[in-house]
Structure 1
Amino acid sequence: MTDVFISYSRKDTDFVRVLHQALSHSKFEAWVDWQDIPLTADWWEEIQRGIEAADTFIFVISPESISSKVCRQEVEHATSHNKRMVPIVHREGFDDIFMHEALSRHNWLYFRQQDDFDQTFSNLVQAINLDLPYVRMHTRLLTRAVEWEHSQRRDDLLLRGQDLLEAEQWLRDSIDQQKEPLTSEQHKTFISKSREVETANQRLLKTGEQARRQVRFGRAVLGLTLLAAAGVGLLTVAAYRQLHHAQIQALITEANTAFKENRQTGEALTLALQAGDQLQQKRLLKGRQELTSKLLPTLLKTNYWILEQDRLEDHTNDVLSVTISDDGQHYVTASADGTAILWDRAGAQPKPLEGHDDWVREAGFTPAGDQVVTVSDDRTVRFWTLEGRQKNHLAAAHDDYIYSLDFSPISNTFATASEDGTVKLWTLAGDPIKTLMADGVDLPQHDSAVRSVRFNQQGQLATAGRDGMIRLWNAQGQLLSSWAGHTEEITALAFSPATVSASQQLASVALDGKVKLWNLEKDNAVRTLTLTPPGPADELWSIAFSSDGQWIAAGGHQDKVYVWRRRDGVHVATLEGHTDRIRSVAFSPDNTTLVSTAEDNTVRLWRWPNPGLIALKIHQDEVFITAISPDGERIALAGIEGTVSLWDKTGGYLDILDGLDSPIYALDLASNNKLAVAMANGRVGLWRSQPANPVFFMAHDDESAIRSLAFSPDGQRFATASDDGTTKIWPTAGPFERPLVVLEGHEGPIYNVSFSSDGNQLVTAGDDGTVRLWNAKGKEIRQFLGSGNAAYHAQFSPDDSQIVSVGEDAIGRMWQVDDGAEVATLQGHG
């Protein structure tokens, strides 16, 4: 690491040499490109590394540097990493219109010819030394984070032990004290991931120690048994091996049994990890390869299917609510044990918030994220720092239990809702603003508790409770509308994210066991959808939208968390693991985690979404067709029932295309966001850009199913092969009244069509036992004859010099494209 990086124009080289010499005399190490870039190094990469490794970025302002493209790139790179920036003016006469805004935000030091160099340099030294330990940690963590990113995020480059604790404290101090330079997203991600891996490693160590304790116990038991049987003797190595073999086999069996009983929770994975820990003691298990072959499938399937990432068990009574901070770095839970607990993202270092005298019903983060506010059955509202220290409290804020609170996103206010039937607005300092009135009459006219209060992004407020009514208020606390929401008590409300659509939705759940979605347009509520969990109707107590608006989660009396796709209300998952009523659900801001709390005293963190779990729900029948886009970015799955689901390469759910009127027999993806599906009724559906509306057209006779479909490499054409014995080539841009080319020659159904890598040739395989080579204009070049049995599949080698085919006889054949010679047969499949 270096003290400063100097960005300058070559015209100012003489001045920069003087500045560099002064810095060197003051024991500062300066990075300047005339001496630090090796001639053989990649120039810009070296510049970037130099900026990242410097504590302070000095920019020499002159007309040439302000207009320099390279200097601007250097400023932008420094800004993207939140580097401390010190602009110094050497020569004036520049046009402010070209000034980078990052330079304008800082105070300038003047090193002009008429200025006192020594005095200004003294000011520069003070600026460099300001809060130097903090800045050096900023640089050190940034360089480690960048190295981690460039090394494919290897776990061995993450922080550990004391380094991690110091980094976490540094990050908290930076945020709490709003230190400059600000922390970057790279800092936060690097530290957060370090904590996740450290916590996981600690748990593995704990699991390993538990396994070793079991081994020691087993040894003792076996030793006593042999001693009793023989009267005297030694425990042999063979006996040890038999004991370990039996223990590991038992753990694998238990893991598989636990997985069958509930594939979502962590018990099966824990047992499998314990078996793996014992299996690593190779000196005791030499030659036990069969155990490895049994354990690996168990580890793979449990690791893939397990949804439960973590379980937080510090509360001693029902956990009534969970709230996640806007940056996703903290959770806060509220419990009937009279406490709230503040957790970091990894669930480590919990901070109890103690002071209430009764159940804590809900806790939330202030909009700035620097405080937590809690409400309780003791009728008080309390304010806490993120270190767990109580700052303030409102005694007798209501006349009865306080059930709910929420913060306005457009003003420094928050609202509370109570058993006393009132909703009150407060400043963030705790000063009362008003009690909400309905037509000039206090809400208690309904003689019912208000169970939930929620703000939307426009500052409107929704309230609901025991009377089954929902009320909508404007930001000033004036009643806009009210309507009957449910036939029983409403227990929770949630607004959809503001970014999802112009028509925001409100979701409500109640003791009638239903989730209802309401469109709010011009202050009128229109119910759009009612969702009912599978199984017998029962109470629901919680509701949440994912931040991207795709998913809705709810939980209640059945100790399960239910998830629906918001667009059409399809139930996609049921998360099982809690042993008592679910009281709260919440999605993390990045939509990778779903958190639930329950009356079993636990908080559970679920991995979301799980591609396999959702696919099982989306595709109600066998999934037997897959396609991967040429760039590897997207995956499509098709079920015979007429549904296509789209996923990204990490397994993230993208979209679903359903409602097709015929079974799907083939599909393909192009790298330019095109998708085509072929159906049993001879029709083709073409999506030119998801999720745009598709074009459907009849490509073949309606009695002739389309068996295969393929895009050309450039995505401008696609080919369809059908039971009618023809292959047709179509333009993706349309029109679709007639194909560009028809390939005719097969006698019977065609099962497969593929393009060559340059798109100039095609190969088809048919029921007539032939594989045929065609040019793109439809002329047949040659036939490849196998055993005479049906040919099911054929495709080109990567260099287009050969074709490989397989057919009904289960024999693979390789053919030379230029002369049609059969060069190899591949046998082995039955």
Structure 2
Amino acid sequence: MRRKTRVAPGWCYLVLLFGCAAAAHPVRGQTPEPLRLVTPEGHTGSVTSAGFSHDGRWVVTASKDRTARVWEVATGREVMLLRGHTKGVTAAAFSPDDQWVVTASLDDTARVWDVTGHTAAVNAAAFSPDGHQVVTASNDGTARVWEPATGREVAAFRGHKGPVNSAAFSPDGRRVVTAGNDSTARVWDVATRGSAGGASAVIREHDPVNSAAFSPNGRWVATVSGKIAQVWNVAMRRQVVVFRRHAGLVTSVAFSPDGRRVVTASYDSTARVWVAATGQQVIRSLRGHAHSVLSASFSPDGRKVVTASGDQTARVWEAATGGTLALLGGHTNRVTSAALSPDGRWGVTANGDKTARVWDNAGHEVAVLPGHTDCALSAAFSPDGEKVVTVSVDNTARVWQVTTGREVA
């Protein structure tokens, strides 16, 4: 599931070196000097091999640091980290269709890797209701479904004409709804694996859709676009209700567990709770953040709301009154996402400081999840509350054990 990106000015010299290595004499006009390996930024050991993909778009490198990495030729970006060998990697090469990379290692194994995943920042991730799959949304214009136990990609949904901002499963796990910068939300059938005729339903807005979510009964989809949120009848592609009181861009939307309420977050530094059927605001607003509110969601019992903000904090609120119950501070950058575990014992935040953090229900930090190399954009719990999935601008999704903070996929 890992798809990493980093500017790597050194890699181009490495490829040129291997391209010229067979020449008996230096290129005309070149000063003779010993050939040397220039390690791309990202590898921490000597590079042992490099090779182009058959379409010329990618380069794969192998290294004594026990990893192989895939790089984009046009930009020099590292787009994939292949990690799993226990000793140095001695060789790496693409398959004829460029769908796979094979690596050989001093650990006496060869491995085959699926390299068809995301090639740009991953904006959101969510577990399926049974916890057996994860869906991710990316700036590469796709949403993808993965098996977190193996990291294997099982479906890719293509159709958005631009970045995909969010993705979420339906309550029965059979569908996925995505929100895109192309001013559409799309509903996909998971069973088709993205191979059969595109989305089963397309909801068209006038502005980019920042977030979309299913209702608990699976009949409705809530979307946010511009300064408004809307609820739609999926089967009819018909607007049911509109929520219109935010003074800034609306960033996220979520249903309460019983489907009777909706919570929205906005650049106007507030979150608001609404009656899903009528669009009436339940309470005036959740006020207290000093900067944009980037996400908002209900607790599993519907009695609390958790918000994340650009003011470097997350807050837990009483949904009925708007009172603040806990302030989650200590972050050193904006908090991009916040969620509560299914049993209500834990909270998780994703942060611009490249980490996610786990909190207890008293607001005490209990674990820091390091590893991303760029801003973490989203974090969500598995249905059993034992794992967290995080996504990042570094093109990766990672799965962590909550109680230990150990990365497991």
The normalised TM-score by structure 1 is 0.29
Quickly say closer, same or farther: Cα 1:676–1:309, change in 2 above 3 A. farther
Note if contact 1:264-1:307 (Cα within 8 Å) is conserved in structure 2.
Answer: no
**RMSD across aligned C-alpha pairs, in angstroms?**
3.5
The question of 1:606 aligning with 2:107 is answered no
C-alpha displacement at 1:787, in angstroms? Answer: 3.6
Does residue 633 (structure 1) correspond to residue 132 (structure 2)? The answer is yes
Counterpart of 2:100 in structure 1: which amino acid? A
1 or 2, which has the higher strand percentage?
A: 2
1: CA distance, partners of 2:321 / 2:224 = 25
Q: Indicate yes or no: 2:301 matched with 1:802.
A: no
Alignment of 1:626-665 (within 5 A): 626-650=125-149, 651-665=151-165
Q: Which residue, 234, 238, 244 being the options, matches 1:744?
A: 244
| 1:766 to 1:713, Cα distance in 2 relative to 1, 3 A | same
Distance 1:258 1:758, change over 3 A: farther
In the TM superposition, what is the alpha-carbon distance from 1:607 to its structure 2 partner?
Answer: 3.3
Per-residue Cα deviation, 1:696-754 (whole angstroms, up to 9, x for no partner): 534311xx11111112233332211111x11111233x111x21222221122100111
Q: Secondary structure at the match of 2:191?
A: coil
Q: Which letter maps to 1:679?
A: G
Q: Give the 3 Å change call, closer, same or farther, for CA 753–695 of structure 1 in structure 2.
A: same
**Which residue of structure 2 aligns with residue 726 of structure 1?**
228
- Tell me by how many angstroms 1:309 deviates: 12
Q: Which amino acid aligns with 2:137?
A: A
Kept in 2: contact 1:561–1:576 (CA 8 A): yes
State whether residues 268 and 302 of structure 1, in contact with CA within 8 Å, keep that contact through their aligned partners in structure 2: no
User: Which residues in structure 2 correspond to 1:424-439 (within 5 Å)?
Assistant: none
Instruction: Report the CA distance between 1:772 and its aligned residue.
Output: 0.4
8 Å Cα contact 2:230-2:240 kept in structure 1: yes
**Secondary structure in 2 aligned to 1:257?**
coil
Provide the residue aligned with 1:321 in structure 2: none
2:85 aligns with 306
Q: 1:711 aligned to 2:210?
A: no
SS at match of 2:330: coil
**Correspondence for 1:700 among 205, 210, 215:** 205
Task: After TM superposition, give the deviation of residue 669 of structure 1 in Å.
Answer: 1.6
1:620, 1:664 → 2: CA distance? 13
Asked if 1:673 corresponds to 2:174, the answer is yes
Q: Which amino acid aligns with 1:697?
A: V
| 1:572 and 2:99 matched | yes
User: 3-state DSSP class of the match of 1:789?
Assistant: coil
Give the aligned residue type for 1:627: A
> Which residue is equivalent to 1:257?
45
Kept after mapping to 2: 8 A contact 1:731/1:739: yes
Structure 2 counterpart of 1:654, which letter? Answer: V
One-letter amino acid of the counterpart of residue 606, structure 1: A
259 and 709 in structure 1: CA distance in 2 versus 1, 3 angstrom threshold: farther
Kindly indicate whether the alpha-carbon contact (under 8 Å) linking 1:663 and 1:680 is maintained by their aligned counterparts in 2: yes
Q: Is the 8 A contact 2:155 2:190 kept in 1?
A: no
The alpha carbon displacement at 1:672 in A equals 2.8
Where does residue 563 of structure 1 map in the other structure? 95
- Distance, in Å, in 1 between the alignment partners of 2:201 and 2:82 is 41
Contact 2:46 2:63 in 1 (8 A): no
- For 1:741 and 1:749, how far apart are their aligned partners in 2? 18
2-structure distance, mates of 1:677, 1:563: 31
Tell me: CA distance 1:609–1:261, structure 2 relative to 1, closer, same or farther (3 Å): closer
Please give the alpha-carbon distance, in whole angstroms, between the structure 2 residues aligned to 1:759 and 1:828.
33
Greater share of residues in helix: 1
**Corresponding residue of 2:257:** 757
Whether the 8 Å CA contact 1:761–1:774 is kept in 2: the answer is: yes
Indicate how the Cα distance of structure 1 residues 302 and 308 shifts in structure 2: closer, same or farther if over 3 A, else same.
Answer: farther
Q: Secondary structure at the match of 1:641?
A: coil
* Structure 1 residue 789 corresponds to structure 2 residue 294: no
Q: CA–CA distance in 2 between the matches of 1:822 and 1:771?
A: 12
**Offset of 1:642 from its aligned partner?**
0.7
CA shift in 2, pair 1:264/1:672, >3 Å? same
1:740 alignment partner, SS class: strand
- Please tell me the residue identity of whatever aligns with 1:753: V
| 1:771–1:560 Cα change, 3 Å | closer
Residue 713 of structure 1 aligns to which amino acid in structure 2? P
- Flag the structure with larger Rg: 1
C-alpha separation in 1, matches of 2:123 and 2:296:
18
Within 5 A, what are the aligned runs for 1:242-281?
256-258=44-46, 268=65
Whether the 8 Å contact between 2:140 and 2:162 is mirrored in structure 1 is: yes
Decide whether aligned partners of structure 1 residues 773 and 658 sit closer, same or farther in structure 2, where only a CA change above 3 A counts. same
Q: Distance in 2 between matches of 1:677 and 1:708?
A: 8
Provide the secondary structure at the position in 1 that maps to 2:99. Answer: strand
Q: Helix, strand or coil: the match of 2:45?
A: helix
Query: How far off its partner does 1:647 sit?
Result: 1.1
Shift in CA distance, 303/637, structure 1 to aligned 2, threshold 3 Å: closer
Structure 1 residue 680: deviation in Å? 1.0
Task: Tell me the amino acid that sits aligned with residue 95 of structure 2.
Answer: V
Looking at structure 1, the residues matched to 217 and 88 of structure 2 have their Cα atoms a distance apart, in angstroms, of 42
Label 1:784 to 1:608 Cα distance change in 2 as closer, same or farther (>3 A). Answer: same
Specify the alignment match of 1:34 in structure 2.
none
AA at the equivalent of 2:160: L
Write the distance in 2 (CA, Å) between the matches of 1:770 and 1:811.
13
* Residues 758/577 of structure 1: CA separation in 2 closer, same or farther (3 Å cut): same
Letter in 1 for 2:208: A
Residues 265 and 308, structure 1, Cα contact 8 Å, conserved in 2: no
In structure 2, do the counterparts of structure 1 residues 268 and 309 end up closer, same or farther at CA, with 3 Å as the change threshold? closer
**TM-score w.r.t. length of structure 2:** 0.56
Query: Using the alignment, how far apart are the partners of 1:260 and 1:822 within structure 2?
Result: 56
Structure number with greater CO (CA < 8 Å, separation at least 6) is: 2
| Identical-residue share of aligned pairs (%) | 24
Aligned-pair CA distance for 1:256: 4.3
Structure 1 CA distance for aligned equivalents of residues 320 and 185 of structure 2: 33
Distance in 1, matches of 2:203 and 2:240, equals 14
String of CA shifts for 1:403-435, please: whole Å, max 9, x gaps.
Answer: xxxxxxxxxxxxxxxxxxxxxxxxxxxxxxxxx
Asked if structure 2 preserves the Cα contact closer than 8 Å seen for 1:264 and 1:576, the reply is: no
Within 2, Cα distance between the matches of 1:577 and 1:689? 34
Structure 2 equivalent of residue 780 of structure 1 = 281
Give the 3 Å change call, closer, same or farther, for CA 609–774 of structure 1 in structure 2: same
Which one-letter code corresponds to 1:823 in the other structure? L
Q: Is the 8 A contact 1:683 1:696 kept in 2?
A: no
Other structure's SS at 1:739 match: strand
